[in-house]
């Protein structure tokens, strides 16, 4: 298997050409690693079943794992998940930021991404220049999963290390040199109230 393409970009003005090349790989069915405000994440396009299987294999995940739809603006969230008004307001006040929100999915979300029993999915709007620029270049959400290897506590946060460790498994690594080190705080709204299921980088106070 070929080694992945490695794209170092500027943290403040990521080069459009590199972003477009990563987007082309995503559109072609590729699996990438990209930096976020909460460590590195795996990313692929919506509906890319093969890439989701690759993520499950690398991370050793079962089918109950929540994949996350990462998007560049809150306005896109409503297309993919169902929200009551209070949930809408609560999330709107907290994004962009280091949170993942678990919500019931709409029919626009492919079944392969959903929790098999609850039909829920994660959504997130990162506060990170490179991930937002990549999302804007793609023009649609990226299906993501934190890049935590099976025996690790924290996500990987060094792009070159990701390339060295997982280069055989990925199609591209995007590296802007800046990256959060702590996973997101996960807030699950699927029961009708806010339940923090993972304490992470985002301040939990608004949801307690």
Helical (H) or strand (E) element with 2: none
Q: Find the helix packing angle between 16-27 and 129-138, rounded to 10°.
A: 60
The pLDDT of 147-152, averaged and rounded, is 94
pLDDT at residue 86 tops 70: yes
Once rounded to an integer, what is the mean pLDDT over residues 52-78? 93
Question: What is residue 18's DSSP assignment?
Answer: H
Beta strands in 48-206 (DSSP E): 68-70, 99-104, 120-124, 142-146, 172-175, 185-188, 195-198
CB proximity list for 154: less than 8 A, separation 6 or greater = 39, 148, 181, 182, 183
Rounded mean pLDDT of 134-146? 97
The tens digit of pLDDT for each residue in 159-191 reads 999 999 999 999 999 999 999 999 999 999 999
CB half-sphere exposure, 128, CA atoms < 13 A: 27
Domains of the chain and CATH, by start: 5-207 (3.90.870.10)
Q: Is residue 199's pLDDT more than 70? A: yes
Euclidean distance between CA atoms 94 and 117, whole angstroms: 27
Distance CA 167, CA 202 (A): 30
Q: Please give the pLDDT value at position 1.
A: 53
- Would you say residue 111 has pLDDT above 90? no
Q: Which residues pair with 35 in a beta bridge?
A: 40
Among 73-77, 137-141, 161-165, 184-188, the range scoring the smallest mean pLDDT is 73-77
């Amino acid at each position: 298997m070929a080694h992945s393409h490695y794209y170092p970009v500027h943290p403040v003005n990521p080069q459009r050409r590199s972003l477009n090349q990563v987007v082309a790989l995503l559109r072609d069915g590729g699996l990438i690693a990209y930096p976020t405000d909460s460590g590195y994440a795996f990313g692929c396009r919506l509906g890319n079943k093969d890439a989701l299987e690759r993520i499950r294999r690398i991370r050793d995940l079962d089918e109950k794992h929540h994949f996350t739809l990462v998007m560049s603006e809150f306005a896109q969230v409503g297309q993919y998940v169902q929200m009551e008004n209070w949930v809408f307001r609560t999330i709107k006040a907290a994004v962009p930021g280091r949170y993942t929100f678990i919500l019931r999915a709409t029919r626009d979300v492919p079944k392969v991404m959903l929790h098999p029993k609850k039909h829920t999915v994660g959504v997130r709007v990162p506060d990170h220049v490179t991930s937002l620029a990549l999302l804007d270049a793609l023009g649609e959400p990226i299906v993501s999963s934190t890049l935590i290897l099976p025996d690790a506590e924290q996500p990987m946060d060094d792009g070159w290390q990701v390339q060295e460790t997982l280069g055989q498994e990925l199609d591209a690594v995007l590296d802007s040199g800046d990256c959060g080190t702590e996973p997101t705080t996960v807030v699950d709204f699927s029961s009708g109230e806010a339940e923090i299921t993972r304490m992470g980088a985002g301040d939990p106070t608004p949801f307690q």
